[in-house]
Structure 1
Amino acid sequence: MTTGVRRRMGVEERRQQLIGVALELFSRRSPDEVSIDEIASAAGISRPLVYHYFPGKLSLYEAALKRASEDLAARFVEPHEGPLGARLLRVMGRFFDFVDDHGPGFYALMRGGPAVGSSTTNALIDGVRQAAYDQILSHLDVAEPPARLQLVIRSWISLVESTALQWLDGRRVPRAELESQLVHDFAALAAVSAAHDEEMAALLRRVFKGEPGDGPFADLAGRLLALAS
């Protein structure tokens, strides 16, 4: 009979393992509810060894938050192929995959948790928002956005965030419907802005010109016409 020999991990490898373990635990419960003892147990090491790699729970939480924020920001990356409405719908699908898989951690990131209000937390959250903003601009093919377009995109990103947080409280609206609704929300915000500004109207005409009759934006137009009839 042979016995396995536990391989000794290097410093960075162990740090990454602990971050992964913490993220897994934070995905099921709020970080406030997860103890260092639980993280140590799940990683198969002692509590003092966790403190050897991280000075405390806050530093481990911030490291886990950094990895999660990088993952979340990457969800907004989408090839510049096909109609804009379909691209946004795919982005919303990946975004809600993250929210669905990391519910308590996502909620803690946006509304609370051991690092809430810290400069590190705020910078990471702002980084995700900026990544989303930059991606939307690139899909609109606008290098120097007018003020109204900046407001539309920032407002939509905030709406996506708040909608996801509300959805986590019971998941009472079917996810697919919510993803579609948020794509419609983007079009609606842009359309209202275009009604007040010719530059936005010209941009909207260019963007919507290639939208197919069975796409998300056409679906919104059909629903609105049905309400008006």
Structure 2
Amino acid sequence: MKGSGAAPARDQRAGNGGHDVAYRRMTVEKRRAQLLAAALELFAHHAPEDVSLDDVAHAAEVSRPLVYRYFPGGKQQLYEAALRSAAEDLERCFAEPETGPLTRRLSRALDRYLSFVDEHDAGFTALLQGGSVAETSRTNAIVDEVRRAAAVQILRHMRVPEPGARLRMMVRTWITVVEAASLIWLDEDKQPPADELRDWLVDHFIALLAATAASDPQTARVTRAALTLETADARLGSLARRVIPVLGDAAHLLDVGPPESDPRTPR
């Protein structure tokens, strides 16, 4: 093509699966971002094996050769790049200012997480359930990076630079619960409503934290520190008002002694 770099953007046409497509000249970064956005939209609602490069080209309104130009490795390379982009979005879900009650921070993070799940329903299911022909050790590593990044963020909110094995396990177990609940939520036609699911998951976090604190001194110290930031109207207060009567009845029926009678209870 002749002409200077200052030439105005122009439409170009090329065959694409029997369709004419028009696209504007873009910088390399913008074009790559456009193709990734088109791919993410398709992978969000279809399993990877059901999406072709022609589909991506059509959605981006470019030619198939142009997609290959940016992703010479074909659909697998494009899928992994789209997955990494989605993973970065998921990691940002847990980025939250480290102020205020811990349960409120978790609630805001879960709001973003569940919104992502809602917008990428089919793709999220295919990603976490596995079995896709596009699944490789690299895609699995990308997904695991998201889990580890989420755990790091949560532990940072708990102000634990060097967590012990039990606390790490508790946090990673909760992340697994969040993933599993999200998949079930999609399978149940997104019921209960997202805000109810969010509150239920925060309750699970509190329950896991309390159960771990009962036998792990480090978690007990972290829990006490977190309690100082909670307020009566935060999620912990709501859960306490609902659970204490139940636990009180259970303690009476089982004739449970005071906490000091359990040698494992952290002091």
* TM-score, length-scaled by structure 2: 0.79
Alignment partner, residue 161 of structure 2: 143
Alignment partner, residue 167 of structure 1: 185
Moved more, 101-110 or 151-160: 101-110
CA distance in 2, matches of 1:24, 1:190: 37
Question: Aligned residues, how many?
Answer: 225
Alignment partner, residue 209 of structure 1: 228
Moved more, 26-35 or 153-162: 26-35
After TM superposition, the runs of 4+ consecutive aligned structure 1 residues lying more than 3 A away are 226-229
Q: For structure 2, which runs of at least 5 residues remain unmatched after alignment?
A: 1-8, 12-23, 250-267
Opposite residue 53 of structure 2, the aligned amino acid is I
* 1:224 equivalent among 243, 248, 252: 243
Q: Secondary structure at the match of 1:105?
A: helix
1:170-226 deviation line (CA, Å, top 9, x unaligned)? 212121111001111111001111112233222211211221011111111111124
Q: Report the CA distance between 1:144 and its aligned residue.
A: 1.1
8 Å CA contact retained: 1:103, 1:168? yes
8 Å CA contact retained: 2:10, 2:25? no
Alignment partner, residue 125 of structure 2: 107
CA distance in 2, matches of 1:99, 1:226: 35
Alignment partner, residue 28 of structure 2: 11
Alignment partner, residue 130 of structure 1: 148
% of aligned pairs identical?
48
Q: Report the CA distance between 1:100 and its aligned residue.
A: 0.6
Opposite residue 105 of structure 1, the aligned amino acid is G
8 Å CA contact retained: 1:62, 1:121? yes
8 Å CA contact retained: 1:76, 1:91? yes
Q: Report the CA distance between 1:127 and its aligned residue.
A: 1.3
* 2:38 equivalent among 2, 11, 21: 21
Opposite residue 36 of structure 2, the aligned amino acid is I
8 Å CA contact retained: 2:48, 2:134? no
8 Å CA contact retained: 1:28, 1:104? yes
CA distance in 2, matches of 1:101, 1:114: 22
Q: Report the CA distance between 1:104 and its aligned residue.
A: 1.2
* 1:41 equivalent among 43, 58, 62: 58
8 Å CA contact retained: 1:15, 1:53? yes
Opposite residue 136 of structure 1, the aligned amino acid is I
Opposite residue 101 of structure 1, the aligned amino acid is E
Matching of residues 17-96 of structure 1 within 5 Å:
17-54=34-71, 55-96=73-114
CA distance in 1, matches of 2:122, 2:29: 26
Q: Report the CA distance between 1:29 and its aligned residue.
A: 2.1
Is 1:121 aligned to 2:139, yes or no?
yes
* TM-score, length-scaled by structure 1: 0.92
Q: For structure 1, which runs of at least 5 residues remain unmatched after alignment?
A: none
Opposite residue 64 of structure 1, the aligned amino acid is A
C-alpha RMSD over aligned residues:
1.6
Opposite residue 164 of structure 1, the aligned amino acid is S
CA distance in 1, matches of 2:44, 2:140: 20
Q: Secondary structure at the match of 2:25?
A: coil
Opposite residue 157 of structure 1, the aligned amino acid is I
Moved more, 60-69 or 25-34: 25-34
* 1:189 equivalent among 208, 211, 230: 208
Opposite residue 42 of structure 2, the aligned amino acid is L
Q: Secondary structure at the match of 1:27?
A: helix
